[in-house]
Amino acid sequence: MIILVVDDEAPARYAMAKMLRGEGRQIVEASDGEAAIVAIGEHSPDLVFLDLTMPKKDGLAVLGELAQRQGFVMPEIIVISANDTLKNAVECVRLGATDFLAKPYDVDHVRSIAGRSEKRVRLQHQVSALQDEMEASGARSALIGGSRVMKKLNEQIARAAKAMLPVLIRGESGTGKELVARELHARSDRKRGPFVAVNTAAISASLVESELFGHVKGAFTGADRSREGVFRQADGGTLFLDEIGDMPAAVQTRLLRVLQESVVQPVGSEELVKVDVRVLSATHQDLETAIEEKLFRQDLYYRLRGIELVLPPLRQRQEDILLLAQTFLGERCRFDRGAVAAMVDHAWPGNVRELKQRVESAAAMCDSDVVTAADLGLVISGASDSQLLFDHYFELPLTEGRDRLVEDFEKLAIERALSETARNVSAAARKLGIHRQSLQQKIAKLGIRV
């Protein structure tokens, strides 16, 4: 990891370099802004501590010059200043700085910043190695990931695909359970047969049986023609039943019979139709608790759980975050260091689905070839430190500082709500608990792009 320390005072450079030294770190120094520009070009540092007030070319001028470079990916830059005013902080962040550090700074805080940056650099190197490994092996799996847990999952999928037993796929929403089901089908001996997927939670309770088992004409009001049902559509192939934990109790009983006897009985018919289907199911529900509460049949649970595969949440496979993000981004743009930092530190409650939505949305709306943390609707980890957040307002009069703090909070909250609702103003207003008209007024006032 390469760290550049830029300060016109030699003792300050020496002290900073001393506290940052460590195994695997190369410390480079520059005594002014012009030397910093040269050092950045020669060494491509991963982290820069940049003094704001310097002769020849100050920190803002350095940031401005770097920001104007076409196709340049800004390193992680921490601006240091004895005059920590809100105006300076905002301008530095606008020009691409990751964080703003006030003198005198805390040694542990500086080391913490370097440690986080080092972790991200190491992760990026792992991602590059994983990409090379996947390309060299010619891997064509739809499940992108080179982390240890994903390698283990891929091995389990390969074995389960050949076993021909029912498979229960478990994992949080957005982890890719249907992708696993499709991969199981593609690697199985049934790959030339149909793959039929149905979300049982999305079907009206009154139509679940018809959807699964089919019906004959006139079986109920509105049944103006016969319907095969998904079991017969998947005959000779694979049927994927998503959100199986939400299936009505009455249908569970009929599903159990189909799994036991390999026959379906269309609604309104006494005929039994033989089917040859491998059933894969998925859920994010706690089925064991549902069984205890008499909401899910225990015998059906054991029928579906011939083999169990558990998908890890994205937060447990950090190595894959950047690999997935780069795949979703394609060749359209690049992530800057702030975006990388924010993605690595984000908890991803929506898992891969959330990551895909944020990256594709940012790529579509970005007005340059570099995607930032703000484009992704994420907050850089360094900015989450409470002291740093409030330090920016302490130099202002109390009333003005409070108003600025409220305004900045509202802007961040609105940006996040819009991001999480695909920029839908009505949905964002509901999420924030305010009227749509009020949200529109705030969006206009704060200059937020919808």
From 1.10.8.60, 3.40.50.300, 3.30.530.20, 3.30.70.270, which CATH number describes the 318-446 domain? Answer: 1.10.8.60
Please tell me the pTM assigned to this model.
Answer: 0.60
329-348 pLDDT, tens digit per residue, is 877 677 877 788 888 888 89
Using alpha carbons, list the distances in angstroms from residue 341 to 124, 369, 403, 435. Answer: 10, 18, 29, 34
- Give the containing element (helix H, strand E) for 79: strand 76-81
Domain ranges of the chain: 2-126, 148-314, 318-446
- Cα torsion through 441, 444, 448, 450, rounded to 10: 80
pLDDT tens-digit series, residues 73-127: 778 888 888 765 666 777 787 787 877 787 777 787 788 878 877 777 776 666 6
- According to the model, what pLDDT value does residue 383 have? 44
Lowest mean pLDDT among 68-72, 215-219, 253-257: 68-72
> Reduced to 3 states, what is the DSSP secondary structure of residue 215?
strand
Beta strands in 123-274 (DSSP E): 167-170, 195-199, 238-242, 263-264, 273-274
Query: What's the helix, strand, coil split of the chain in %, to 5?
Result: 50, 15, 35
Q: Tell me, what amino acid is at 124?
A: Q
Mean pLDDT, the chain, integer: 83
Highest mean pLDDT pick, 80-84, 134-138, 162-166, 417-421: 162-166
Long-range contacts of the stretch 254-262 (C-beta < 8 A, 24+): 254/209, 254/212, 254/213, 255/212, 255/300, 256/297, 256/299, 256/300, 256/303, 258/213, 258/231, 259/166, 259/300, 259/303, 259/304, 260/303
pLDDT value of position 420: 81
Closest CA to 45 of 5, 100, 15, 105: 5
* pLDDT for the residue 157: 94
Model pLDDT, residue 334: 78
Average pLDDT over residues 166-187: 93
Whether the per-residue pLDDT at 422 is higher than 90: the answer is no
Please name the fold of domain 148-314.
Rossmann fold (3.40.50)
Which of 3.40.50.280, 3.30.70.20, 3.40.50.2300, 3.90.930.60 is the CATH number of 2-126? 3.40.50.2300
Binning pLDDT at 50, 70 and 90, where does residue 436 land? confident
Tell me, yes or no, if the two domains 148-314 and 318-446 fold the same way: no
Q: Which two tokens stand for residue 33?
A: 């802004």
